[in-house]
Amino acid sequence: MARMTASVYTSHVPLIGVAIDNDLTQDEYFKPLFDGYQIGRQWATANTPDVVILVFNDHANAFALDIVPTFALGMSETFAPADEGWGARPVPSVEGHPALAAHIAHSVIRDDFDLTLVNNIPVDHGCTVPLSIMYDRPSSWPCKVIPLFVNVVQYPIASAKRCLDLGKAIRRAVESFDEDLNVQIWGTGGMSHQLQGQRAGLINQPWDQAFLERLVHDPEDLATMEHVEFVREGGSEGIELVMWLVARGAMSDLVGGKAPVEVHRHYHVPASNTAAGQLILEEANPH
């Protein structure tokens, strides 16, 4: 049977992709950020899964504001990098896993989550930057990827608890898939940042650090946080952190298993106009 072995949490700041694409990672500004990614990259190389379920939000590239699904699952064999206004990133296309995606769709919808199922849709920096953070610049990505789009752009937005519960449902789906697959789930976006308005440039380091602690040690309590606190403390784009709860919900301790092992934590300010965070949690018995 398929098994969930780890969860990864990372910011998906577009400037990080620009730095990678243009060989700027060792420049004075970027070096401290990318030095902190090295342990994660080493872990990723040693623990490459068969499939990553990659949770991210679209930035008006796959979905215009006339149709915004709350949760959408990518069903295709291939997802091309999106042209975000200055050309597509020079990265490989994302190769999907339609069989596992179809199984997840059936299982999660039977668990009363109304997924939108999408084909032939591009993936923007929300998806490709996390892959670059972990795998740098390969000729092809080393694993299959199932994109899971979460609306954090247009209200109403799913609650933090709903996102955590979706992760639990995804775990059940993966564990009932009749194929020997090593699966990871990645939650992306955040951390604290605001891109517009009177508070543009907001970064709240103490709140970010507290969020990381609660995500590791008390995710059920963290999932009671209301949207207003995400926005008040983490900025308007800090709401992206609900996507980290989807990934956290897929770990076994929330269904009676052992607490996950924290492999790596990295936090850096600033990365562009945001705080950048990274966390890797591995199942206590991943194999």
Which residues are known to be catalytic? 125, 193
CA distance 166 to 170: 6
Q: Which residues of 248-270 are buried (b: 16+ CB within 10 A; e: fewer)?
A: bbbbbebeeeeebeeebbbbbbe
| 194, 168 Cβ separation under 8 angstroms | no
Neighbours of 119 (CB within 10 A): 12
| 129, 12 Cβ separation under 8 angstroms | yes
Omega prior to 206 cis, within 30 of 0: no
Taking the alpha carbons at both ends of the chain, their separation in whole angstroms is: 11
